[in-house]
Amino acid sequence: MTKTLGQLAELVGGRLDGDPARQVRGVASLAEAGPDDVAFVVVTRYRDAAAASKAACLVVPDDWPAGAASAATLYVADPNRAMSRIAEALCPPLPQPEPGVHPTAWVAETARLGRAVHVGACAVVGEGVRLGDRTRVRAGAVVADEAAIGDDCDIHSGVVIRERVRLGDRVIVHAGSVVGSDGFGYLPGEAGPEKIPQLGTVEIGDDAELGACVTVDRARFGVTRIGPKVKIDNLVQIAHNVEIGEATVVVAQVAVAGSTRIGRGCQIAGQAAIDGHLVIGDGARIAAKAGVTKDVPPGTDVSGYPAVPHREHLRHEAALRQMTDVLERLKRAEARLARLRSEDET
């Protein structure tokens, strides 16, 4: 698809420094962009890369230095958001399956399918399942008995939605994820660990999105709850009876232990680990690789292991880095003391 720079400037409400009639065909990174592409840059540390880019146009923030790019420049308030709109205008959307049930799919007679539903090749829709209007269950996905999925959901290939799990509207679950597997619960027994029955379920709110290979365990009793607009990255483990509040973002490889409650609007960075039975307050931010072992108050930034307020963690790190110098000084002092003792003895 081809657009002029003038059309793109109008689309995103930006200010163009360049030829408005210049045509472009695609989007790319600074390093990979060619003479028909649009690229974007957010921070000035990429100024040299921007100057060297072969892109036809660079989308930059309003305060970008004049003359810092060799291409036409489109100034906008939010380059990330503007670039998303430009990409949608220039790039064809991914192919989407047509409504209907594939001949190799298995759909139980008691399942209720809404209007314009898609059930892909070799997918399974179990007894008593409800699929909302325009929902897609793609190839090889399994929706187990008595699960309920709302309107406009997208269940990608290889996903398993277990029994009695409930999804709201416009929920996206990416390939390989499992929602509603048993929580990890055992009691010590004479013959080995004895399984604790996991009899609850999982509820996922409207507009939530789960990345690839996410696992959300069903509750022991009651509900494991993922709130509306929660965004979960790939390879995240959510244990039984966890609750995650609206619009919280969870980055890849995070693990949340059982019965922890995470508030609204939190940000949890990659590979963080959160212990069980904790309360993470609204708006808290947890740094990458943090190990959270106690409650986090609302609006608090924590980092490190065990996680502490971020500024405190930075002070700890600074002190540790100074220890090498302190040890060297201590060694020199001990050497001088040893020499003085030797001189006294002689």
Distance separating alpha carbons of residues 303 and 309, to the nearest angstrom: 6
Residue 170 maps to a domain = no
Residue 164 maps to a domain = no
Residue 33 maps to a domain = yes
Q: Which domain holds residue 52?
A: 3-90
Residue 299 maps to a domain = no
State yes or no: is 316 an active-site residue: no
List Cβ neighbours of 163 (8 Å cut-off, separation of 6 or more). Answer: 126, 144, 145, 146, 147, 180
Q: CA angle at residue 331 from 326 to 333, to 5 degrees?
A: 95
Residue 210 maps to a domain = no
Residue 325 maps to a domain = no
One of 102, 240, 277, 316 is an active-site residue; which one? 240
In tens digits, what is the pLDDT along the chain, a chain of 346 residues?
Answer: 899 999 999 999 999 999 999 999 999 999 999 999 999 998 888 888 888 899 999 999 999 887 766 689 999 999 999 999 999 999 988 999 999 999 999 999 999 999 999 999 999 999 999 999 999 999 999 999 999 999 999 999 999 999 999 999 999 999 999 999 999 999 999 999 999 999 999 999 999 999 999 999 999 999 999 999 999 999 999 999 999 999 999 999 999 999 999 999 999 999 999 999 999 999 999 999 999 999 999 999 999 999 999 888 888 888 888 888 888 888 888 888 888 887 777 6
Residue 47 maps to a domain = yes
Helix, coil or strand: residue 112: strand
Q: How many domains does the chain have?
A: 1
Specify the DSSP class assigned to residue 43.
S
Residue 155 maps to a domain = no
- Model's pTM, two decimal places? 0.88
CATH number for the domain including 9? 3.40.1390.10
